[in-house]
A and B are shown apart, each in its own frame.
Chain A
Amino acid sequence: MMYRWVTPGLTLGLALALALGACSGDIERSAAPNGGDPFVPGLGGKLGPNGTGGSGGPGSTPGTGPGGGPVGTDSDDPRIAQRIWRLSSEQFNAEIERLFGAGAPAVKIPETAAEAGITNIAENALVDLGNASVFADGVRAIASWVVMQKNTTTRCTNYGMEPCVDSFLAWFPKAAFRRPVTSAEIAELRGLFDQLRGTYDYDYSFGGVVRAVLLSPDFLYRSELGGAEPMVLSNNEIANLLAFSITDHAPDADLLKAAEMGDLTDPDQREAQARRLMLKSETAWQRFFWEWLEMHTLESQGAEVGLDAALVAQMHEEYRKFVREVIITEKGTLRDVLSAPYTWVQPELAEHYGVDHPGTGLMKVELDPGERGGILTQGAWLVAHGKKGRDNVVRRGMNIFRQAMCNNSLAPPAGLDVQAELKKLVGPDATVREIVDARGSAAACGGCHRVADPVGMLFESFGSDGKWQTTDVAGHPVDTEVDVMGLGLYDSARAYAHALADDMAFQRCFVQRFTHFLAGIDLGSPEMVAWTQQAHERLLETDLSLEELLVSLVRHPAFIERRTEAGP
């Protein structure tokens, strides 16, 4: 075997950095939005042995107490700024279902484009001219539906009568605002109903109250404002942050009870809640890996390479089941996600993969460890980054290079016709290796492709349809023996994926993007941010446990402290 089951660790990370440094401006490592200096870890002292110690408890200020380091984007006070965060489409619809049950008209909010694949970004989550009508119209349609369902949705026994209004207001505003409400707030809503009822019928007036609440910022936004300095979020704000971050849903009864008891500023309480919520976190994990590895092109690419839509749907199903089982049920590690030698597939997909299926339906199957293992060898990722009629080297290699390793790449230099240049370097019958070698040695391209293409070559054992292949689309034997960045020899995608889990640069990127996803803001590399550096260290200490990573992030004071943004 030509590959080695190494733990490249720092050596590989250093080599990558050197390789990237040789990119002569074509690529650059991504950094925190405002540059790195303010995030230098260590200002707050070294971390405790379990990655959670010394947080200083509630009220400690990052950067001054043990374990507290700068995390934000302001040079004077690097904590995350006070903010509001509008519900995403998914969260909005889940909230409507939580409040009224299934069946309400769904709302799809037009959004700005993702950041590094991550879609739910606090700064970008707006109600503006581009989407306001969707909220207004959607909420009106929901309210119409609510009043049509009468007792079912309003939890009344006497919809149409006055007492129903009061019983509705006894639960609805509190549930919708995800916090206790005052009697004055209820009275204001009752006053609204009465004013409407003075002119209009019962249904319109009742629906008007529903609309008023659903268009209120108390429903549409989560707030992270806190109180006086040091700016620690309120218990309700922490409950909402924990719940939406971990489960993509509103806080459940247990979490609201903990908030009511004022417990959530205690890192031990947050840890307990996070461990409990892990059992409900499948949606968030599924969305995270899907967005981070940019698999949203699965459907369009599947159609382009001629796959049956049902088989593509099975690939998506496999991905969701795999993430749920490995991360939630088995409490697996990052390594398991990347290289577990088993998966869950329907018979048709098993046949596509060339593996035995034990019966019918979605079942766990063992994979040939020489061929497949982990999400990077599943149909969803392979097809999403496949390329019809060509080798898949650049698309797959660059997805790992850019997304999984957090490198920014710039387009080819001015005036360069990439394809024309490539044609000058290789003949029309060139093999994939010849093309890769030529691209890597070309001055204008090599900076990035020398690093990315060998990784892409490893995945050439899979066609653009995700099937195992021994000859490529041009009829040449598949050749996957590669030297990744001159350091490691590998000859299979799974071997590489297994080693990738132990690569420091990959781990840092994973922690950076997971925090980006969790906090809705890009804080930069863990090398530069004490909060996430601590989480990375905890990941290492726990053999890449995803649950321990999450716990470390929510225990840190940075999770619950905010700074005041400069005034206008």
Chain B
Amino acid sequence: MSSSRSRISRRGFNALLGGAALGAGLLPSWVTRTGHAQNAGAPMRFLAVRTPHGADRDTWIPRPMAGGEPPSTDMALGELSFEYTDSVLGPMTPWKDKITVLDGLDTQVSKEKTRADRRDYHGHNEQGALLTGAQPPADRDSGNFDNHPSLDFFLHSRLSSPALLTASVEGSGTWKCMSYDERGRPRDPEPDPRELFRQAFPADFRPPTTGGTPQVDFSAGEELIHGYSESALMRLRQRLVGTERDKIDKHLDAMARLAAQSGGMSGGPVGMCMTSGMDTPTRDGNVRNVAGVEEITRAHTKVIAQAFACGRSRVATLQILNDYPNWFTDLPDVQTPYIMGHYPPGFRFHENLVHDYWGASGNDRVEMRKAYCAGLRWSGTHFAAVLDELDKMADPLDPMGGSILQNTIVFWHNEFGHEGHDNQETRHPSVIAGGGGRVLKLGRYLRLRNIQSQERVPHNKLLTSICLAMGLNDVNYFGDRDLTGRANYQGPLLPLMT
């Protein structure tokens, strides 16, 4: 038994090195040190949320009450307003002190094309670049990000928790994913909250506050059981070479890391977690009608919050629709008299309205903006619902009694930026929420550059900022391996850091 323990322990250590090695090809600076907890408070979690259709920066930023541009590049949101004609971020008004709006962030990586099989122009396929920080593939259908994992996968590899949660409201597609594995392959999101719950919680998971009977220490038994499968894996490994042996190494490391997590395998005590493995949500993943989008958004987020609270997960992504589902056209605010007269019944929100908006002028543009922004504002209500669900859940691991939201970095972004045209890599609409302002500022409007200039602020810097906020203080760059030496890609977004 002791040898088994020793083997697992060593493998657990190797697994941590594996996390470093994972980054080693991308980020040599990660190799030197492993991450460590940020502080003695609650563990920080991470949730990335994506909504579709881009945004017109003119209607997306907060503005002074009197209108016009925010007079300063770094302002309290309390001094600005989301309430003006066609404002998109209206639903964020109640959350002003818990979010920071980033203006002038660019997914510049999608323009670099340092490798022949990469793509250097914009389009829906740059979505994968958002969390991988890597150049998108020329063949978008492959969805292959060339051995660049997404931020969620990387964080999960560095932080201690059993489940990496990847959810969507309606499906995505090969080139519309958020999450990418270690090889840069897209990971299918789970559209059904019931299945997401099952991934987060085993059926026999019991909250530590129920039952009342003393806990039996199963750790020795667990080690024996997993020692058996580990031995079998090692025997198979001896028969393999190359990529097949790599498969077994990944398997071994993943299992060893689970075994090393206190409470992970056995569903042991975690603070005041209140969720049982039988508390499966009732909502399925079929949207059915326009109201279903928020229903599923809330159901997914509740599962994520429960998993965060019970130590079952620290990292998740949630994609709320993509450009194809057409529920937006069912919104009364989108069905303006102008729009209904301009388009046939059942028009496409993206291919018709969104694209037409960018080419329109005069009154057409005014009317189309009204409907376009109404759709985006609806997406804003979904993000507000995410914040609401996270805020409603008390964090049992927070000694200060905070909510899950206060201990979760939430990154809300759109599938596109824009520059007078949709589907562009510039001015990516981005909001940071949660995290309690411990490392990333909250309640701020931050203009990161001269919006009218050709200056670019690579969003990789934001990804690095998030790594730092998650306690990975050794990370100085996150993204494409070919850009590790570019000074403008290095380091965090300083204006965002406390």
Identify which of residues 236-279 in chain B touch chain A, using a CB-to-CB cut-off of 8 Å.
236, 239-245, 247-248, 250-251, 253-255, 257-258, 264-265, 277
A-B pairs with beta carbons under 8 Å apart, 14 shown:
A84-B248, A108-B195, A114-B174, A127-B255, A128-B181, A133-B312, A136-B255, A140-B265, A195-B224, A215-B225, A218-B232, A297-B171, A303-B288, A411-B124
Known: A130-B156, A408-B139. A196 touches B221 (CB 8 A): yes
1/0 per residue, CB under 8 A from A, across B169-201: the answer is: 011011001010110011110100001001101
List A contacts of B319 (CB < 8 A): none
List B contacts of A105 (CB < 8 A): 203
Stretch at the interface among B115-123, B404-412, B455-463: B115-123
List B contacts of A299 (CB < 8 A): 286
Interface centre among A123, A196, A419 (most CB of B within 10 A): A419
Question: Do the beta carbons of B202 and A137 come within 8 Å of each other?
Answer: yes
B338 proximal to A (CB < 8 A): no
1/0 per residue, CB under 8 A from A, across B145-157: the answer is: 0000000010011
Nearest A residue to B122 via CB reads A414
A486 proximal to B (CB < 8 A): no
B287 proximal to A (CB < 8 A): yes
List A contacts of B138 (CB < 8 A): 410
The docked-state distance in angstroms from the alpha carbon of A296 to that of B289 is 19
Nearest A residue to B292 via CB reads A303
The docked-state distance in angstroms from the alpha carbon of A418 to that of B179 is 28
Identify which of residues 355-375 in chain B touch chain A, using a CB-to-CB cut-off of 8 Å.
355-356, 358-359
The docked-state distance in angstroms from the alpha carbon of A127 to that of B232 is 15
The docked-state distance in angstroms from the alpha carbon of A411 to that of B203 is 44
Known: A110-B166, A133-B258, A411-B123. A199 touches B220 (CB 8 A): yes
Which residue in B247, B258, B327, B423 is a CB contact (below 8 Å) of A132? B258
Question: Do the beta carbons of B125 and A411 come within 8 Å of each other?
Answer: yes
Known: A129-B254, A200-B218, A217-B236. A389 touches B202 (CB 8 A): no
Question: Do the beta carbons of B232 and A112 come within 8 Å of each other?
Answer: no
List B contacts of A427 (CB < 8 A): none
List B contacts of A410 (CB < 8 A): 138-140
Known: A110-B188, A124-B185, A408-B139. A83 touches B244 (CB 8 A): yes
Nearest A residue to B156 via CB reads A129
1/0 per residue, CB under 8 A from B, across A411-425: the answer is: 111110111100100
Identify which of residues 100-147 in chain A touch chain B, using a CB-to-CB cut-off of 8 Å.
105, 108, 110-114, 123-124, 126-130, 132-134, 136-138, 140-141, 144
Question: Do the beta carbons of B162 and A419 come within 8 Å of each other?
Answer: no
Known: A82-B240, A110-B188, A140-B202. A417 touches B358 (CB 8 A): yes
Interface centre among B166, B205, B228, B265 (most CB of A within 10 A): B228
Least CB distance from B328 to A in Å reads 11
Least CB distance from B171 to A in Å reads 7
Nearest A residue to B226 via CB reads A215
Which residue in B141, B182, B239, B325 is a CB contact (below 8 Å) of A128? B182
Question: Do the beta carbons of A126 and B251 come within 8 Å of each other?
Answer: yes
Known: A212-B225, A568-B245. A128 touches B254 (CB 8 A): yes
Identify which of residues 179-204 in chain A touch chain B, using a CB-to-CB cut-off of 8 Å.
188-189, 192, 195-196, 199-200, 204
Known: A113-B188, A141-B204, A208-B225. A390 touches B348 (CB 8 A): yes
List A contacts of B487 (CB < 8 A): none
Least CB distance from B314 to A in Å reads 12
Known: A137-B162, A564-B241. A414 touches B120 (CB 8 A): yes
B326 proximal to A (CB < 8 A): yes
Known: A195-B1, A300-B287, A389-B344. A129 touches B355 (CB 8 A): no
B332 proximal to A (CB < 8 A): no
Which residue in B188, B216, B240, B251 is a CB contact (below 8 Å) of A127? B251
Nearest B residue to A196 via CB reads B221
| Total number of A residues with any Cβ neighbor in B under 8 Å | 79
B56 proximal to A (CB < 8 A): no
B143 proximal to A (CB < 8 A): yes
The docked-state distance in angstroms from the alpha carbon of A112 to that of B143 is 10
Least CB distance from B234 to A in Å reads 10
B92 proximal to A (CB < 8 A): no
A567 proximal to B (CB < 8 A): yes
Question: Do the beta carbons of A113 and B174 come within 8 Å of each other?
Answer: yes
Question: Do the beta carbons of B358 and A420 come within 8 Å of each other?
Answer: yes
Least CB distance from B473 to A in Å reads 21
The docked-state distance in angstroms from the alpha carbon of A134 to that of B255 is 11
B84 proximal to A (CB < 8 A): no
Identify which of residues 388-430 in chain A touch chain B, using a CB-to-CB cut-off of 8 Å.
388-390, 402, 408-415, 417-420, 423
Question: Do the beta carbons of A138 and B181 come within 8 Å of each other?
Answer: no
The docked-state distance in angstroms from the alpha carbon of A300 to that of B265 is 35
Question: Do the beta carbons of B188 and A566 come within 8 Å of each other?
Answer: no
Question: Do the beta carbons of A408 and B198 come within 8 Å of each other?
Answer: no
List A contacts of B170 (CB < 8 A): 300
Query: What are the nearest 8 A-B pairs in CB distance?
Result: A389-B346, A414-B121, A137-B202, A132-B254, A133-B162, A419-B355, A565-B242, A212-B228
The docked-state distance in angstroms from the alpha carbon of A200 to that of B171 is 44
The docked-state distance in angstroms from the alpha carbon of A474 to that of B254 is 55
List A contacts of B195 (CB < 8 A): 108
List B contacts of A513 (CB < 8 A): none
1/0 per residue, CB under 8 A from A, across B110-142: the answer is: 000000000011111100000000000011110
List A contacts of B289 (CB < 8 A): 303
B345 proximal to A (CB < 8 A): yes
